[in-house]
Structure 1
């Protein structure tokens, strides 16, 4: 097997390919623009990276356009009402990201003069910014030579170096190997080129090795193992939990909701009063009434478990407001303000 060419040669091939084939993304300053001296907006880079965590470019595009239209600067986002931001986020999931998005925006606007830090360590200190996101912002927005490793990059590196260890055990080695390729010149373009290569050519299934700019130095292509990498340890089956939600409406159309605790799943979000989520949830309606169980059920999948919800409904007496609940007038209620699982419950109730 031929030795892998030196890192500068690999990077040069990759950047030459990126200069011709870079994806057109709404948050990206492309290679031609960067060569002309146009610099990325750190706010847009940060916002896109937070949105892209554990989801896809296709899912994020419309959200990104809407957020930047409503809140074009970090100061605008920092001044936005929590409920409005959480409502616009609904559907992207992982709502802790949205809460941290607001916390981070307010720190940057209030304490940092509206300017994002330009070094990895300082970015890492901000809410919601972990090692990957800090490296991505530092590299893409500020051209710092940080190693940016997402799922696409892991796949490219696993194949380029023919790494047989399965994920997630291989993650430290893959990051170490990726670091050997990170250049001092154009590190932001290099990071985006690695991502683009994984997203467009070095895909999970049927990689396009014949037109890949790294086909010659790729050890997995030479060994015939590219389509099998990266290997993954078998996933454990997700457990199933159950719960009950209670949808109550007053005669004038007002709806009874609650705000979930800041910590935990759907923290800080509006939702229907409900039971715990467990193998055997306890039936604890918010007030005494003749509760009717609706036919059908709500199914939703979180990162670590599947959830099945039963929806129960009853009229809300005129002067009843149980402790810990919120009454929202019909004219003020927007289903889009609810997280997806609660909106599914609303849709089932509405079809009753």
Structure 2
């Protein structure tokens, strides 16, 4: 048994070579494709990203195309992936790359790390996979593998543990296959050394080197520091119709879902009488109110408990932008928090 050591490198590379998932960004690992895929994969499952990645590459095939794109274009391509600050940082970085690097990503870890929205993991992934630089790419999957290999009960959210893990894997990077080693570790964590207490140890190529397995602790590792409870906010979400048009509003430029278009909503769970009174005070000419099925949406630090209401107006509300259902579908990026309510709309 050896935990995280050079002994794991060759078995992992052999296992990765013998068969790994066929992913579109792996088949053609250009720097731009690796970068976009890694940003998309943050907080998102691989299978969900496949379609988004293909649509993105068809519409914005390179960095200059992304830099020149309107916000409405790249946010619409991102619709449903959440965490829209990620796509805005992609665009900001593309503009910077066109200004300073001729529209190409630099083959340098520190310069990659300096780009908007690029952290240590993403910089390591692009540097190693796209450019072959011998630097580690340590994400949650790799941290989990390390904790089990070493039988380490330090919470993997601990900053010191993350730093030590990066340093230890940096010492293991082969000069010729660092990208493959990083991907083998990601692959192991995603398909074998699974989260939530269910590792498939019998399928692991480095089981014989795993202290956690041999001590019977693989299923209980890793430890995580307790999370703070999310704040719950009650809201009343409105599907507003005026004739054949749908009412939208744009959120403030800062804060949650910054700058995105949304279905209008009000604080609290309002009764029909309370809602009608509030809308009338806002200058809305309400013809009809119909209750919709409630919905819940979870963000990182807050969750919305939403009662939905279909609102039919006699005249357009002064504070909203009205579009056709087709325009809403094709041109406006609507956060997934409102997706369950949009199903009541018809062209």
Tell me the distance in 1 between the aligned counterparts of 2:35 and 2:56.
12
The aligned residue for residue 322 of structure 1 is 318
Cα deviations across residues 76-132 of structure 1 (Å, max 9, x unaligned)?
A: 222333212212211111111122222222222344221011212211222221222
**1:152 paired to 2:144:** no
Task: Give how far 1:3 is off.
Answer: 4.7
Query: Cα 1:14–1:331, aligned 2, differ >3 Å: closer, same or farther?
Result: closer
**1:247 paired to 2:242:** no
The aligned residue for residue 196 of structure 1 is 187
Cα deviations across residues 295-325 of structure 1 (Å, max 9, x unaligned)?
A: 432321111222112334444454x4524x3
Alignment counterpart, residue 24 of structure 2, candidates 23, 26, 36: 26
The aligned residue for residue 107 of structure 2 is 118
Report the TM-score, using the length of structure 2 for normalisation: 0.86
Task: Give how far 1:49 is off.
Answer: 0.3
Cα deviations across residues 236-273 of structure 1 (Å, max 9, x unaligned)?
A: 4433211223333223x222211112222211211123
The aligned residue for residue 83 of structure 1 is 72
**1:209 paired to 2:201:** yes
Tell me the distance in 1 between the aligned counterparts of 2:4 and 2:98.
45
Contact kept, 8 Å, 2:289 with 2:311, in 1: the verdict is: yes
Contact kept, 8 Å, 1:297 with 1:309, in 2: the verdict is: yes
The aligned residue for residue 10 of structure 1 is 8
Alignment counterpart, residue 300 of structure 2, candidates 298, 303, 308: 303
Query: Cα 1:40–1:314, aligned 2, differ >3 Å: closer, same or farther?
Result: closer
Task: Give how far 1:43 is off.
Answer: 0.6
CA RMSD of aligned residues (A): 2.7
Contact kept, 8 Å, 1:95 with 1:265, in 2: the verdict is: no
Task: Give how far 1:294 is off.
Answer: 1.8
- Please give the secondary structure, in 1, of the residue aligned with 2:26: coil
Contact kept, 8 Å, 1:243 with 1:274, in 2: the verdict is: yes
Query: Cα 1:90–1:331, aligned 2, differ >3 Å: closer, same or farther?
Result: closer
Query: Cα 1:119–1:322, aligned 2, differ >3 Å: closer, same or farther?
Result: same
Contact kept, 8 Å, 1:271 with 1:338, in 2: the verdict is: yes
Query: Cα 1:193–1:289, aligned 2, differ >3 Å: closer, same or farther?
Result: same
List runs of 5+ in structure 2 lacking aligned partners. none
Contact kept, 8 Å, 1:250 with 1:315, in 2: the verdict is: yes
Task: Give how far 1:274 is off.
Answer: 2.7
The aligned residue for residue 265 of structure 1 is 256
Report the TM-score, using the length of structure 1 for normalisation: 0.85
- Please give the secondary structure, in 2, of the residue aligned with 1:126: coil
List runs of 5+ in structure 1 lacking aligned partners. 30-38
Alignment counterpart, residue 274 of structure 1, candidates 261, 265, 277: 265
Tell me the distance in 1 between the aligned counterparts of 2:200 and 2:46.
20
Alignment counterpart, residue 333 of structure 1, candidates 318, 328, 334: 328
**1:162 paired to 2:154:** no
Cα deviations across residues 15-49 of structure 1 (Å, max 9, x unaligned)?
A: 122221232111014xxxxxxxxx73111000100
Contact kept, 8 Å, 1:202 with 1:209, in 2: the verdict is: yes
- Please give the secondary structure, in 2, of the residue aligned with 1:327: strand
